Copies of this chain bind each other. A is one copy, B any other.
Amino acid sequence: MRVIYNEELKAVADALEHMAEGVCTAMHGAGKALLDQDMEAAKSVIDGDETIDALERQILDQCVKLLAQQSPVATDLRAVVASLRLASTIERMGDLAQHIAQTAYRCSPNSALSDDAKTREIFESMRQLLDITADRLPGMLADRDATLAQQIIADDNKLDELHQQTFALVLNDSWKGTKQQLIDVVLTARFMERLGDHAVSTARQVVYIVSGFDPSKEPKDMD
């Protein structure tokens, strides 16, 4: 159910939803690049980031214009302030998806990850969680859906646990990857964990719009 009537506010909401759809696609693409070695997907994530960046700039302009011309209050004001913050966060999510795709692209035709089953298993689980989160993003924003927001927040703990497992994995003597693979595993896992944190941040912004509850604190990442 849409809850916005003002034309300009609707234009901001549409642009944000457009950004969220772009990042949803980029997150799926990053997973395909990393785990299916799909270089078409990698290329498309890398090239597509400019569109997401341009939308952030557009939203900043739209919000400043809206604040100057309409002096919104209450929920509308919170929506504009949250949109400014959401645009930054979603832009950053695009960057992180791009980093993952770039890592996969650099290592191609080899995998960026070491070959062992356990490494693949952990990253496959992280990818599945992020794919689910990615699919929730556009609808959560379009409908200001606090239930979807809560689901995104709740799922982030599982992602954090998997992220911690990557450290235990590579530190174990049985892990036989190269130094480059160790670097790629550590950084890629961090990019994925940060994607989850930023998704939580977007979810908190939606809670803020709906309830006025202060969402300013980004989730702590625990590294």
Residues of A near any B CB (own CB < 8 A):
53, 56-57, 60-61, 63-64, 67-68, 71, 73-74, 77-78, 81, 84-85, 87-88, 91-92, 95, 99, 102-103, 167, 170-171, 179-180, 182-183, 186-187, 190, 214, 216-218, 220-221, 223
Query: Are A67 and B64 in contact (CB-based, < 8 A)?
Result: no
Pick the residue among B53, B77, B220 that contacts A68 (CB under 8 A).
B77
Whole-angstrom CA separation of A171 from B52 in the bound complex: 34
Q: Which residues of B contact A102 (CB under 8 A)?
A: 223
Query: Are B179 and A57 in contact (CB-based, < 8 A)?
Result: no
Q: Which residues of B contact A214 (CB under 8 A)?
A: 57, 60-61
- How many copies of this chain are found per oligomer? 2
Whole-angstrom CA separation of A53 from B103 in the bound complex: 32
Pick the residue among B53, B71, B99, B221 that contacts A217 (CB under 8 A).
B53
Pick the residue among B53, B92, B190 that contacts A190 (CB under 8 A).
B190
Q: Provided the pairs A56-B216, A57-B216, A179-B171 are in contact, do residues A77 and B92 lie with their beta carbons within 8 angstroms?
A: no
Query: Are B85 and A88 in contact (CB-based, < 8 A)?
Result: yes
Query: Are B187 and A170 in contact (CB-based, < 8 A)?
Result: no
Query: Are A60 and B216 in contact (CB-based, < 8 A)?
Result: yes
Q: Which residues of B contact A182 (CB under 8 A)?
A: 179, 182-183
Query: Are A218 and B167 in contact (CB-based, < 8 A)?
Result: no
Q: Which residues of B contact A73 (CB under 8 A)?
A: 68
Whole-angstrom CA separation of A99 from B220 in the bound complex: 10
Q: Which residues of B contact A81 (CB under 8 A)?
A: 60, 63-64, 67, 84
